[in-house]
Structure 1
Amino acid sequence: MFGGGGGGLNPRKMEQMMQQMGIDVEDIDAEEVIIRTSEHDLVFNDAEVTKMDARGQETYQIIGTPEEVEAGSAGGDAGGADESGGSAIPDDDVDLVATRAGVGEDEAREALEANDGDLAAAVEDLE
């Protein structure tokens, strides 16, 4: 049933089967992936990232070898990151807090800075 002769599943056939089950697969052109833990950051450069959406549940697969660096040291302002006002708070976090709390970006950034970048605490302070 699943392809004969030791070759395993044909990738095209596998993709068709997944689509029939309502699973969408998308390759993401990621430049860098950072996983932060309390002990260290794992930095994947040139990783292969695949997003799988199974009826609204998104799963990301990262294939690559990470570099382990000091906690909080990855992803700073290296390479011209788009950070307004010299703040260490990522613009995406500011947008998220502003949208969730229904406030402007400046107010959201101030709340994030006051809460050391903690999204939930910033939203809670603004509500």
Structure 2
Amino acid sequence: MFGGGGGGFDPRKMEQMMKQMGIESEDLDATEVVIRTPDEELVFADADVTKIQAQGQETYQIVGEPETREAGSGADAGEDAAIEDADIPADDVEIVTMRTGASEDDAREALREADGDLATAVEKLEAEPK
């Protein structure tokens, strides 16, 4: 159906046909894609993602093997994901502890609540009564 013989198709001809039909596609440089369902999270690391625009709608095609996690192991339902401990650099924890005199655990918690913002974490700890 597409292209010449041999069962294959010519990608240039396919792209030209898509443009004639008003369909545009763009490869995205995605580093991670997460799909959350009520029961699980599908995490695609290093996925190939293509954005397709047709008839005024955007569609995303994801190609890759997902890692499956239980629901709730990431963000709480309805809330933006807070930075997890693994995402908080040890250097940031050290800076906050040195500046405020707080314990590493308190510094890490303040950074988590401040979404990793050093100044906000320091302000929060300095404002707390000692």
> Does the alignment reach a TM-score above 0.5?
yes
Distance 1:11 1:74, change over 3 A: farther
- 1:39 lines up with 2:39 in the alignment: yes
| Number of the residue aligned with 1:64 | 64
* Structure 1 runs of 4+ with >4 Å offset: none
- Alignment identity in percent? 61
In 2, are the aligned partners of 1:36 and 1:72 still within 8 Å (CA)? Answer: no
Give the deviation of 1:87 after TM superposition.
6.0
| Number of the residue aligned with 1:91 | none
- TM-score, normalization: structure 2? 0.57
Structure of greater Rg: 2
User: What does residue range 68-107 of structure 1 map to in structure 2 within 5 Å?
Assistant: 68-74=68-74, 76=81, 77-78=83-84, 79=87, 86=113
| Number of the residue aligned with 1:53 | 53
Unaligned runs of 5+ residues in structure 1 are 89-127
- TM-score, normalization: structure 1? 0.58
1:44 alignment partner, SS class = strand
Number of residue equivalences: 85
The aligned amino acid for 1:39 is: D
RMSD: 2.4
Distance 2:19 2:30 in 1: 23
Distance 1:44 1:85, change over 3 A: closer
| Number of the residue aligned with 2:3 | 3
